[in-house]
Amino acid sequence: MKKAILVAACVVAATAFPAVPSQAVEAVLVVDDNGAQCPSAPFTTIQAAITAASPGDEIRVCAGTYNEVVTVNKANLRLVGPAVAPTGTACRTAGAPDPTRQAIIQSTGGSGSVRLLEDGIRFSRFAVRNNTASYGIATSAAHSGYQVRQNRIENNVFGAYFSSSGTSLSEAEQNCIRNNNETGSASGNGIYTDVGLKNANIETNTFSGNENSGVLLDAPAPGAVDKVNVNRNTSLEDRAFAFIFKSTNVDVTSNVIQDNFDAPGIFFGDNNTNMKITSNRIDRGFLGVRGNAFGLSPSTNVTITGNVIRNSESSTVGHGISVAPNSLTNSRISGNVTDRNAGDGIHIDAGGNGSNTFRSNVARRNAMLDCRDSTTGTGTDGTANTWVGNVGPNAAPPGICV
């Protein structure tokens, strides 16, 4: 009888929600904070609906403001709000969410606003905002199969604490993640992990105004970040788009990065292996792609290919592609275009950056040099690397680019 009543209540609320992909569910539970949008909803708080739900149920949350901490501790629950997040430049310029059209979750809880603590949880179409003490949304490193989609995540200390065991694919997709800069630990990051993330996609999100990074992936030991795709996102006026450390098999592909400030568009630190940085477009940033191991183990088997980096603005370090001492070995940099940057087009510092191959890059109209390799060894023109078929009229040594 309980299940029948809940399904009937959903019929009243159905018009408040956009169409969603079909999925078999055990029952549908409806929540409305004040009964204005869904008068027959049996629940006024999201947490009460979660308590009543069984694994595999769907919880539909009608428009309103929900001042509560939401803890989802049942597997395969699906929580759905009424409105998708703004995308593209609309994410950057949108005003405050409308509580008559959107389900807004607000909390000042020091351990986050929304906690997804079981396998297979889907969380979509909410505005999660204004946590001045902690993050907006968190997933658990002990579980997997998460889908965090089409949410608006803003004005928290940091946006999403995204972790996964990797047993099943987890996804953070089509979210608007902006202005997560409240004072606190990990402040200024859109999507963040430091405990491990495996078998995950971070795709087609829009990041804006995050004062450290759109995406920061770190781990307690090399390999705890593994098989992560960071693809087809847009970063608008974040300090940096991505910081990545201690990873294996991470792809950073086809992202659009504009107007990042005081940091690289894409940065890789120590102990990355089999990373691919491909087909990204970086415009008007502080600098483009940067590797720096900070004296720790260098990254190896990194592929940097097909990127277009233009108009980096720093007069001292505004290079298109650059590598600090002892930061990159046995890697391939090919088919990139670096154009009109305030520093060098390609800049490789001396010390430890050997056995790399630079092939078919085009560097032109850069304010300092187009190509610079300060290593020494038995490679091309006395460097420690191999340079083949690169275009860049101003180079040191002169034989690495022509």
CATH of the domain at 267: 2.160.20
pLDDT at 5: 34
- Tell me the two tokens of residue 228: 């992560």
Q: Is the residue at 255 inside a domain?
A: yes
CA distance 317 to 86: 34
pLDDT confidence band for 26 (50 / 70 / 90): confident
Residue 8 has pLDDT above 60, yes or no: no
DSSP state of 14: G
pLDDT at 360: 98
Residue 262 has pLDDT above 90, yes or no: yes
Report, as an integer, the average pLDDT of 238-242.
98
Residue 13 has pLDDT above 60, yes or no: no
Q: Is the residue at 15 inside a domain?
A: no
Residue 198 has pLDDT above 60, yes or no: yes
User: Domain tally for the chain?
Assistant: 1
pLDDT at 299: 98
Q: Is the residue at 55 inside a domain?
A: no
What are phi and psi for residue 4, nearest 5 degrees? Answer: -65, -40
Q: Is the residue at 349 inside a domain?
A: yes
Q: Is the residue at 29 inside a domain?
A: no
Q: Of 44-48, 90-94, 395-399, which range is least confident?
A: 90-94
pLDDT confidence band for 12 (50 / 70 / 90): very low
Residue 18 has pLDDT above 60, yes or no: no
Query: Average pLDDT over the chain, rounded to whole?
Result: 94
DSSP state of 164: B
Task: Give the tens place of pLDDT for each residue, 93-139.
Answer: 999 999 999 999 999 888 999 999 999 999 999 999 999 999 999 99
Task: Give the tens place of pLDDT for each residue, 311-355.
Answer: 999 988 999 999 999 999 999 999 999 999 999 999 999 999 999
Contact 288, 341 (CB under 8 A): yes
Q: Is the residue at 321 inside a domain?
A: yes
pLDDT confidence band for 219 (50 / 70 / 90): very high
Task: Give the tens place of pLDDT for each residue, 60-83.
Answer: 999 999 999 999 999 999 999 999
* Domain encompassing residue 383: 62-396
Residue whose tokens read 């009229």:
393
Residue 7 has pLDDT above 90, yes or no: no
| Half-sphere exposure at residue 169, Cβ-oriented, CA atoms within 13 angstroms | 8
Task: Give the tens place of pLDDT for each residue, 345-388.
Answer: 999 999 999 999 999 999 999 999 999 999 999 999 999 999 99
DSSP state of 139: E
CA distance 386 to 402: 14
Q: Is the residue at 354 inside a domain?
A: yes
Task: Give the tens place of pLDDT for each residue, 288-318.
Answer: 999 999 999 999 999 999 999 999 999 889 9
How much is the pTM? 0.94
Q: Is the residue at 27 inside a domain?
A: no
Burial class (CB in 10 A: 0-12, 13-18, 19+), 90: exposed
Q: Of 7-21, 62-76, 153-167, which range is least confident?
A: 7-21
Largest interatomic CA distance in the chain: 81
- CA nearest to 143, candidates 176, 104, 169, 107: 169
